[in-house]
Amino acid sequence: MDQREWKIQAGAYGDMDKFFAFGSGPRLCMGKYIGVTMIKSAVANILFNFHVELVKGHHVYSNSSLILNMKNVVGAIARTRNLKLARLDNFEPQPTCARDFMKGLSRPKAIDLHVNQHHGRTKVVTYWPILGVLPCLAQNAHRMHDYCVDISNTHGLTKVLKGPFLEILYTCDPRNFEYITKTNFPNYPKGEEYNKAFEMLGDGLFNSDFDLWHGQRKLAGKAFASNNFSRMVSNLSKKVVEDELVPLLVKLIENSSTVDLEETFMNYTFDVAFFSIFGRNPKCLSKQSPENKFAKAMDDALEAIFFRHVAPPMWWRLCGRLKIGVEKKHHNAWETIDQSMAHYIALKKEELLQGAGQERSDILSTYIYLQNEKQEFTSGGDKFLRDSALTLLFAARDTTGASLSWFFYSVLSNPAVESKILDELKKVKKCNSENDITAKKPWIFNSEDVKGLVYLHAACCETLRLYPGLPLNRKEALHEDVLPDGTMVRPKMMIIMSPFAMARMKSLWGNDCMKFKPERWITEDGQLSNEPMDKFHTFGAGPRICIGKDFALTLLKSAAASLLFNFKFELVKGHKVYPKPSLVLQMKNGLLVQVKRRVF
């Protein structure tokens, strides 16, 4: 290479009429100067600070690719030069390269000099011939929620992923969340593919769109807005805690048993949710009761539906026709759920006939009443009742039970937080009872007791931020659109939004985003802060915001306060806790703890 040919002449490079690396004319590369700046900055800093020698015998040649990469990269030996200026202060465009070089200084060794501008991307999103991103998604299905975090940390808050007959727009940008769920809500329904994946839920609130969804939402709003229903949930949550949950833990203390808190909380929320919907208690918390086939079927169904979200549609449909693998579980779970739902609906109708005139507060009674009144969108007989009740049961039981589990895991991992919550509870106990807080009888808090507890509420919000019950939200675009961050949306494009990843972005929550810190929800004067709410989408936003939000928080705070105040929990040493690959953020191995009576 004759460098003289490239000397600057009269302010311009020589022989540019034969140089087309950046193209030419109107389509000349817009990033030309950025690219040249990055190259010169990397070259200058590396050559000035390091002495680099190519590894002898290492062959370098181009890879067969659209981008002229090197097939065997560049093997080299790097040593620091004998200069005091062994610094990379100005190496902002290529921090990965700087770190790689600094790691190689402990001893001379061969390193990879092939500094790829998208070095991290190749490890997170890899496109295969024909299959596109599908193999990459399948490979990371077991850690899908952490994989979403990896994508965001590598590619930014929004990324378009492509595969055969598939185009996914992934985002954890709160601006896009706001736009999709509120500003341009009509353009982003659940979509046909979503409805097929959740076909078991029928035409319930969670699975419907457009006019049907509006009608379902209106009906559910009537049921939830009832003062009788709110009073029932408040009283019921306290009763189940007092009569079933606390006695269960007392027995475990007597037997010195290790308890899986997640399983216990799933049973607790199932009992409360089931009673709220059907008006009867299945008593899953009772040790004497046999395994609840209904609850087990719901678990199997969720596992299968998650499989449908990460597997190609053609594959899970084929498995469904053949009734093999997870789809066989789905088929069996569906049969069990249908049989159970038909049984409980028949019982409720008979109960209402026998007790005509008696006021009922459960949701199924309200829906039957509205159906008898021939309210709009209530036609369809028992199918309407089945779809509506089943949807609410899925939503209430799994998300709230999982949130309780993550709350206790987070609090038990942070003793200072636990201490502050206990201080609040002691004050409530002192104000509501003349008895000493050291009394042996368990003290049960009701919803009114915990309503004004700022730190407890902040700890709940922080739990729901880091561990949202539904870590992924799926939509489908109807028409072409442009999101606030400039990303183009095409019709039929699948939209995946991750509140789980959003909570782990330093650009949104600061360098301590991974820290369990209830204080971020409290102002300097000790009041709850609304500032973080624009980045908090655990309950969704806009017209489809979770209708059971208050229901969930009542269960969460009521159980958490009573259990923390009366019992001391310790995480079992060596027990690893991490998310399960599921639509609901459950724990893969449960939450094993040792339980003792709390002594003040």
**CB distance 246 to 253 below 8 Å:** no
- Tell me the one-letter amino acid at 258: T
How far from 378 is each of 130, 212, 326, CA to CA, in Å? 46, 10, 33
Instruction: State the chain's maximal CA–CA distance in angstroms.
Output: 101
Q: Is 546 annotated as a binding residue?
A: yes
- CB-side neighbour CA atoms (13 Å) of 426: 12
Burial of residue 212 (number of CB atoms within 10 Å: 0-12, 13-18, 19+): middle
Q: Residue 470: phi, psi to the nearest 5?
A: -110, 95
Strand ranges across the sheet with 50-54: 50-54, 75-80, 110-112
CB 590 within 8 A of CB 568: no
Q: Write the DSSP assignment of 12-49 as a string of letters.
A: EETTGGG--TT--GGG--TTHHHHHHHHHHHHHHHHHH
Question: Residue 507 class from Cβ within 10 Å (0-12 exposed, 13-18 middle, 19+ buried)?
Answer: exposed
For the chain, count helices (H), then strands (E): 22, 14
In terms of DSSP H, where are the helices of 528-567?
549-566
Please give the structure tokens belonging to residue 208: 């419907």
Amino acid at 261: L
Residue 434, both tokens: 């003349």
In sequence order, what DSSP letters do the residues of 405-441 get, joined into one string? HHHHHHHHT-HHHHHHHHHHHHHHHHHH-SS-TT-SS
d(CA 156, CA 179): 18
- Which of 183, 221, 233, 272 is CA-nearest to residue 542? 183
**R_g of the chain computed on alpha carbons:** 29
Q: Which residues contact 552 (CB under 8 A, 6 or more apart)?
A: 396, 399, 400, 403, 469, 539, 546
Alpha carbon 204 to its chain's center:
22
Could you tell me whether strands 166-171 and 494-497 are parallel, antiparallel, or unpaired per DSSP bridges?
Answer: parallel
**Binding site: which residues?**
546
Binding residue ranges for heme: 546
